[in-house]
């Protein structure tokens, strides 16, 4: 007897659902994309309990007539393509005809469009009935995974799902400033954009005034591409790449090479393990893009990739240069990798020098191929400053050697040890702030605020909810002295959803040292001497906390050799 049989449509839909509707945010994404494809200018998203109990997406788009309403829930039914050639010029977000049948195979969906109403309960269709409604479509999804308990168990807490949902709606709002988005969870308004087409306004709504005021708009074009967007000045940065938002013909995408190009440009002005905050819109002829690569449509294939990467690099490079004008950066140029022979080791300086800090080839297994220059007992003979080189290196000497200190790395080490030391004390003297610090919209990003607040209070940082979405800090512990508490606490907030155990002395001190980075800053010889003196007193003066060397030492006798004496 034959073992193979054609799967019935319900089962096929459930399998397809595995790819597109893993969790509430996946459903919301598909529904909003349908509203966008129907040319809606207003989209309201309503959820209960993080979408676990109810998801509603209401739009003012074109809607569907009675026939289409039923067809829409059949597998592979779409109004967006009809011919093989259409696949190579897709301008709509959807085209696979899978979302509605998939969603309705694992939940109960109630759809109202252009005066008609239909319910599909785990693939079982009701009769279509007349229903008074406004222009557009409302889709309501409830009892999600009610008949697929394995899936249900996969879902996380309502708070977690809500954070994911909000992130998704924010992303789409950034991609579509001309659509007014409203997002309400459990009767709480979490996002409300005007739809006036002003990207900066949406950016303000999502990231708050502090970031929006420090943001820069950009735009440029080449023969095949137009790019535009907004970024936050690079002295603000994040711990991960989630705030790099890429849109290609308004579709939110992931594209490694584009992100890398952006990161590379921004890291000329920020620490090498940090990430920029940027929204980048790319427009191109639809023929250059293949979106039919993955069911979630996040991955795309692109022709003329090099042309686009060059355009992005050039535009961002120029824009950053202009906005950072006050802190002119020089790019060191080494034609080929250079070996400092007098150190007698292969200490390579990369050709692509990031900012002004020569980057050392780092070996994965053995982080730094760099022998520690010894500080001999003669260290007690003072090392005296000679001067500063290019605002970033300190030249110094003692009786027998020349020293070149990397100013940034040295300051990082000093700050790291100082903060580590202070954090070991269990009492944290609080300094009242004249103006409390407000962290707009950041409460919403935290999965479990209470636990996070408790953890930080162990280190003297007292965060409180200020509204249903903002945070406030009224005083800061003394160890934050000399750091910018606003920037520092924002950096900490980036880590709010990580395992709280990882937020410890070591981590707090590492974050602190990011802030000692100053590019091209001139100091008096007295100040430079103080940096050297402080570094020497460190427990581990040879490397910055990220493993880069803090100084190199050149023996006078090696110099003699170099000059063939």
- Residue 94 in the binding site for Mg ion (CB under 5 A): yes
Cα–Cα dist 270/163, whole Å? 28
Binding partner at 147 among ligand ADP, Mg ion, none, C-beta below 5 to 8 Å by kind: none
- Find the shortest distance in angstroms from Cβ 17 to ligand ADP: 11
**Cα torsion through 226, 230, 441, 260, rounded to 10:** 80
Instruction: Supply 323's token pair.
Output: 């906005």
- 322 by DSSP, 3-state: which? helix
Residues 1-40 that bind Mg ion (CB under 5 A): 34
Q: Does 63 bind ligand ADP (CB under 6 A)?
A: yes
Residue 373 binding Mg ion, by CB under 5 A? no
Q: Would you say the C-alpha torsion 437, 440, 444, 446 has a positive or negative sign?
A: negative
- Residue 279 interaction partner, one of ligand ADP, Mg ion, none, beta carbon < 5-8 Å per kind: none
Site for Mg ion (CB under 5 A): which residue of 21, 27, 64, 99?
Answer: 99
Q: In this structure, what DSSP letter does residue 142 have?
A: E
- 181 versus 551: smaller Cβ distance to Mg ion: 181
Residue 20 within binding range of ligand ADP, rule CB under 6 A: no
Cβ-based neighbours of 563, under 8 Å, separated by 6 or more: none
244, 431, 256, 233: which is closest to 324 by C-alpha?
Answer: 233
21 near ligand ADP (CB under 6 A): no
| Residue closest to ligand ADP, measured at CB | 94
Q: Are 406 and 358 in contact (CB under 8 A)?
A: no
Q: How many CB atoms within 10 Å of residue 189?
A: 11
Q: CB of residue 76 vs ligand ADP: minimum separation in angstroms?
A: 9
Least distance between ligand ADP and beta carbon 101 (Å): 6
CB 501 within 8 A of CB 373: no
Tokens of 172: 């789409």
Nearest to 410 by CA among 516, 317, 323: 516
Strands, E, within 128-197: which ranges? 129-130, 137-142, 180-185, 188-192
Reduced to 3 states, what is the DSSP secondary structure of residue 419?
A: helix
**94 binds ligand ADP, rule: CB under 6 A:** yes
Distance from first CA to last CA of the chain, Å, rounded? 94
Whether the Cβ atoms of residue 14 and residue 105 lie closer than 8 Å to each other:
yes
Choose the stretch contacting ligand ADP; rule: CB under 6 A; options: 5-13, 57-65, 459-467, 519-527.
57-65
Out of 26, 51, 61, 477, the residue judged to bind ligand ADP by CB under 6 A: 61
Residue 179 contacts ligand ADP per CB under 6 A: no
Q: Which of 44, 59, 265, 406 touches ligand ADP by CB under 6 A?
A: 59
Q: How far apart are CA 174 and CA 176, in angstroms?
A: 5
Q: How far is the CB of 101 from Mg ion (least distance, A)?
A: 10
The distance of closest approach from Cβ of residue 30 to ligand ADP in the complex, given in angstroms and rounded to an integer, is 6
Residues 111-140: x/- map of binding to ligand ADP (CB under 6 A)?
A: --------------------------x---
CB of 10 to ligand ADP, least distance (A): 15
Where does this chain bind Mg ion (CB under 5 A)? 34, 94, 99
Contact footprint for ligand ADP (CB under 6 A): 30, 34-35, 38, 59, 61-64, 72, 77-80, 94-100, 137
């Amino acid at each position: 007897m034959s073992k193979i049989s054609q799967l019935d449509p319900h089962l096929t839909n459930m399998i397809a659902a595995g790819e597109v509707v893993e969790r509430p945010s996946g459903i919301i994404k598909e529904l909003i994309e349908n509203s966008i494809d129907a040319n809606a200018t207003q989209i309201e998203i309503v959820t209960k309990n993080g979408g676990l109990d109810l998801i509603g997406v209401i739009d003012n788009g074109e809607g569907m007539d009675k026939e289409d309403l039923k067809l829409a829930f059949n597998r592979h039914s779409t109004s967006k393509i009809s011919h093989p050639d259409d696949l190579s010029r897709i301008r709509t977000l959807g085209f696979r005809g899978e979302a509605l049948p998939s969603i309705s195979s694992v939940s109960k969906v109630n759809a109202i469009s252009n005066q008609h109403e239909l319910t599909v309960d785990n693939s079982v269709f009701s009769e279509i009935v007349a229903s008074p409604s406004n222009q557009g479509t409302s889709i309501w999804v409830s009892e999600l995974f009610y008949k697929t308990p394995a899936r249900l168990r996969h879902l996380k807490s309502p708070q977690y799902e809500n954070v994911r949902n909000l992130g998704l709606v924010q992303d789409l709002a950034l991609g579509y400033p001309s659509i007014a988005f409203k997002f309400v969870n459990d009767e709480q308004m979490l996002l409300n954009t005007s739809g006036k087409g002003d990207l900066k306004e949406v950016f303000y709504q999502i990231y708050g005034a502090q970031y929006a005021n420090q943001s820069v708009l950009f735009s440029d074009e080449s023969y095949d591409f137009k790019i535009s967007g907004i970024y936050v000045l690079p002295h603000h940065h994040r711990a991960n790449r989630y705030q790099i938002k890429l849109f290609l013909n308004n579709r939110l995408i992931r594209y490694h090479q584009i992100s890398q190009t952006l990161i590379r440009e921004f890291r000329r002005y920020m620490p090498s393990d940090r990430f920029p905050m940027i929204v980048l819109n790319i427009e191109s002829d639809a023929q250059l893009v293949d979106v039919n690569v993955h069911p979630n449509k996040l991955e795309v294939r692109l022709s003329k990739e090099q042309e686009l990467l060059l355009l992005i690099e050039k535009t961002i490079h120029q824009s950053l240069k202009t906005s950072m004008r006050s802190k002119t950066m020089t790019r060191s140029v080494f034609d080929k990798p250079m070996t400092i022979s007098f150190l007698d080791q292969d200490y390579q300086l990369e050709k692509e020098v990031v900012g002004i800090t020569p980057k050392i080839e780092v070996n994965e297994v053995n982080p730094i191929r760099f022998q520690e220059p010894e500080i001999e007992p003669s260290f007690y003979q003072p090392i005296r400053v000679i001067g500063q080189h290019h605002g970033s290196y300190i030249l110094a000497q003692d009786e027998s050697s020349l020293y070149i200190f990397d100013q940034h790395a040295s300051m990082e080490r000093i700050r790291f040890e100082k903060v580590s030391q202070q954090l070991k004390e269990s009492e944290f003297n609080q300094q009242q702030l004249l103006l409390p610090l407000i962290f707009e919209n950041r409460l919403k990003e935290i999965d479990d605020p209470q636990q996070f607040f408790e953890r930080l209070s162990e280190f003297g940082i007292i965060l409180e909810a200020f509204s249903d979405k903002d945070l406030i800090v009224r005083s800061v512990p003394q160890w934050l002295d000399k750091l910018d508490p606003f920037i520092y606490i924002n950096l900490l907030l980036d880590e709010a959803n990580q395992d709280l155990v990882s937020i410890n002395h070591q981590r707090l001190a590492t974050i602190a040292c990011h802030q000692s980075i100053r590019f091209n800053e001139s100091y008096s010889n007295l100040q430079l001497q103080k940096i050297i003196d402080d570094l020497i007193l460190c427990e581990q003066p040879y490397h910055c906390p990220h493993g880069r060397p803090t100084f190199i030492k050149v023996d006078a006798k090696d110099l003699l050799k170099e000059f063939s004496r």
